Amino acid sequence: MGRQPCCDKVGLKKGPWTVEEDKKLINFILTNGHCCWRALPKLSGLLRCGKSCRLRWINYLRPDLKRGLLSEYEEQMVIDLHAQLGNRWSKIASHLPGRTDNEIKNHWNTHIKKKLRKMGIDPLTHKPLSEQEGSEQAQGSKKSLVPHDDKNRKQDHEDQQTKDKQEQHQLEQVLDKNKISISIDDGFCIDEVPLLNPQEIFMDASSAHHHKNDDNANINISNSTSPSSSSSSTSSCISSLPGDEFSKFLDEMEIIDLKWLSSNDSSEDNINYKDGKYNNNADTMNLWDINDLSSLDLIMNDHDDSFVGNGSGCSRMVFDQDSWAFDLL
C-alpha cells in the first residue's frame, strides 16, 4: 500500500555540490521541469536524493534568486514580518522576492539577532529586553494558573483564529507602511510561484513604458489558487507602475539583476567557480534596464546565441548572471 519509497539512500552523495552536478540538475529541470523530486535524481543521472536536489535548486540554482546581503529595506521587512509571523521563514521569504527561507533564516541568526540585541530589543519578542524580563515573569505565573483541558481547546481555537486575524491586520499595516500592497489571505510561498516566462516579464517591462501616466498604479502581489495565475498577476501588476516608479521599484527591491555574457565574452577565463559559487567577471548587460528596450528585443527575437533554447516550454526561462555566465546551457 501507499507510495513507493523515496530513495534507498544507499550510495547517494552528500555534501557540497559540484559544477557538474549543478549543470546536470539545471539542464534536467530546464528540459523536464521538476514535477517529481523523487524521480529527478535517477532521470538526471545524479547520485543525490530528491530532497537534496530540491534544496539545491530552491536555495541556489533557481534563476529568480537574488545574490548578496539583504538590503536595509529587506532587513527591516524581515524584522517587521518576523514580529508578526515568528520563525515562519518560508512565509517571510514569500514577501521578499528572490530571497529564500534558508537565506533569511541564516541572515536572521547571524546578523539581525545581534543587531536587535545591541539595540536592546529581544529578537524573539521584539520587545525591549528590560521590559521583556518583567513580562516573562508575569506570563510564566499566568501560564501556571490557567488549566489546559478539553474545555479550553475550543476557546484556544477561537483565540487562535482571532489572533490570526489580528496578525493579518498587523501585517497588512506593516506592508502598507513599506508602501507595498500585498494580499496575505493565506500568504503564498515563493515555491508555489512558477518561474516566469521571459515573454511575460519583457512584455510587462515594455508595457510599463506605455503606462507612464497611470497614476493609480500600485504593486499588488495577490494570492491565487492557480499557480499560473499568481505569477502573471504579480508581473502584470508590477508592470502597471509608471515607468519611473517601475525602475525605482526594481532598484528598491533589487529584483534579479539579470546579466549575461556577450557572445564575445563566453570564454571560461572570465568565470570562477569557488566554494560552490560562480563568479563572473565578464562584461554584462542589465536585463532590467527598461530604457534599453533593444536589449529586450534582442532576447525576445533570439538574436543572440547567449540564450539557447531547447525547444521545451522551459527553454526561455530567465536565468541569473551566474547561470548564464557559466554557459550552463
Partner DNA sequence: AATGTCATCAACCGCGGTGTT
Partner DNA sequence: GAACACCGCGGTTGATGACAT
- In angstroms, give the least distance from the CB of 149 to DNA: 20
With respect to DNA, which residue has the nearer C-beta, 257 or 304?
257
Question: What span, in angstroms and rounded, lies between the C-alpha atoms of 254 and 252?
Answer: 5
- In angstroms, give the least distance from the CB of 78 to DNA: 13
With respect to DNA, which residue has the nearer C-beta, 186 or 292?
186
Quick one: which H or E segment has residue 203?
helix 198-210
With respect to DNA, which residue has the nearer C-beta, 191 or 304?
191
Please enumerate in sequence order all residues whose Cβ is within 8 A of that of 38, keeping only pairs 6 or more positions apart, or say none.
Answer: 4, 6, 7, 50
- In angstroms, give the least distance from the CB of 303 to DNA: 34
- In angstroms, give the least distance from the CB of 42 to DNA: 11
With respect to DNA, which residue has the nearer C-beta, 14 or 215?
14
- In angstroms, give the least distance from the CB of 99 to DNA: 11
- In angstroms, give the least distance from the CB of 49 to DNA: 8
With respect to DNA, which residue has the nearer C-beta, 144 or 225?
225
Cell of 190: 515563493
Cβ pair 304, 298 in contact under 8 A = yes
Our CA angle for 189, 95, 197, nearest 5°, is: 65
| DSSP line for 106-134 | HHIIIIIHHHHHHTTB-TTT-SBHHHHHH
- In angstroms, give the least distance from the CB of 262 to DNA: 27
With respect to DNA, which residue has the nearer C-beta, 4 or 226?
4
**Which residues would be at the binding site for DNA (CB under 7 A)?**
1-7, 13-17, 36-38, 48, 50-52, 54-56, 59-60, 69, 87-91, 101-103, 105-107, 109-111, 114, 189, 191, 275-277
Q: Which of 296, 270, 295 is nearest to 283 (CA)?
A: 270
Decide: helix, strand or coil at residue 220: strand
- In angstroms, give the least distance from the CB of 174 to DNA: 17
Please enumerate in sequence order all residues whose Cβ is within 8 A of that of 78, keeping only pairs 6 or more positions apart, or say none.
Answer: 70, 92, 96, 104, 107, 108, 112
With respect to DNA, which residue has the nearer C-beta, 32 or 206?
32
Cell of 124: 524573539
Question: What span, in angstroms and rounded, lies between the C-alpha atoms of 175 and 169?
Answer: 10
With respect to DNA, which residue has the nearer C-beta, 88 or 211?
88
Cβ pair 299, 201 in contact under 8 A = no
Question: What span, in angstroms and rounded, lies between the C-alpha atoms of 66 and 254?
Answer: 8
